[in-house]
Amino acid sequence: MDLIRWFFKKNLDKLHNAKVLEFASHNGNNLSLFANYNYYCTGVELDQKNYENAIYNFKKIMKYNKFKFYNENMLDFATNFKNLNANVFLIPNVINYISKNDFKNMLSNVRTNHLYKYGGGGYESFLFLKARSIKDHRYGLGKSVGNGSFILENDEFSGEKNCLCTAYQEHELVEILQKYLNLYDFEVITSENINIKNKVYIKDSDIVIYGKIK
């Protein structure tokens, strides 16, 4: 819902000949919004099944034809792919599974390799990012590996046991995005929900940042 509100609030439905890039594109659900407005959609998804479902959904169900999905690690994609020049860059709910250093290196490669459009001439690109907050119930559940990251040895409820969990503070995330993507004209929202998982009430807390990058 955060993504849909942002999309129309910023008049992204009015862009012409636009491109969108999403890391962790899952089954293509987020990108389908953009496809409905004639964007060329590029999705990067590590999970083989999600990747196959995205292609099936776009090709067979929704009959879109301006898309390309990659079954690849987003870190490798950011390193190896060049000159995509997307107008919109989406990073939803995925950087919590990588270290902060990997995140910074990824952003640096995204910019160096022109995966989003920038460089004067009135160009402006848009960013949507959703990340895990230190207020989330998972923060601190397990073995610390430094710099705000934990191996979730003690998480019995959310299906992420033994996964890496990296959480951020709002100002920290903004500073990283400003440094590596030249984030500006942005908004920061904290999204908190109480969910029931395995009959246990747990608190999910996310940071949502949307703005422009140059």
Domains of the chain and any CATH numbers? 2-133+168-213 (3.40.50.150)
Q: pLDDT tens digit string along 171-193?
A: 999 999 999 999 999 999 988 77
Query: Which range is most confident: 119-128, 158-167, 168-177?
Result: 168-177
CA angle 184, 189, 191 (to 5 degrees): 150
**CB within 8 A of 201, min separation 6: which ones?**
194, 195
pLDDT of 89 strictly over 70: yes
Q: pLDDT tens digit string along 6-33?
A: 999 999 999 999 999 999 999 999 999 9
Beta strands in the chain (DSSP E): 19-23, 40-45, 67-71, 88-92, 125-132, 143-146, 149-151, 164-166, 184-197, 200-213
- Alpha-carbon gap, residue 31 to 153, rounded angstroms: 33
Instruction: Check residue 61 and report its DSSP letter.
Output: I
Reported residue count of the chain is 214
| Structure-token match 């959609």, residue found | 41
- Alpha-carbon gap, residue 209 to 70, rounded angstroms: 25
Which one, of 82, 75, 88, lies nearest residue 112 by Cα?
Answer: 82
More confident residue, 141 or 5: 5
The model carries a pTM of 0.92
**Within 10 Å of residue 108's Cβ, how many Cβ atoms?**
15
| Torsion sign across C-alpha atoms 171, 177, 180, 182 | negative
| Structure-token match 């640096």, residue found | 108
pLDDT, average across residues 19-48: 98
pLDDT, average across residues 37-52: 98
Record the tokens describing residue 39, joined without a space. Answer: 């964007």
The enclosing H or E element of 2 equals: helix 2-9
Strand partners, 191: 206
CB–CB of 136/158 below 8 Å? no
Mean residue pLDDT of the chain comes to 91
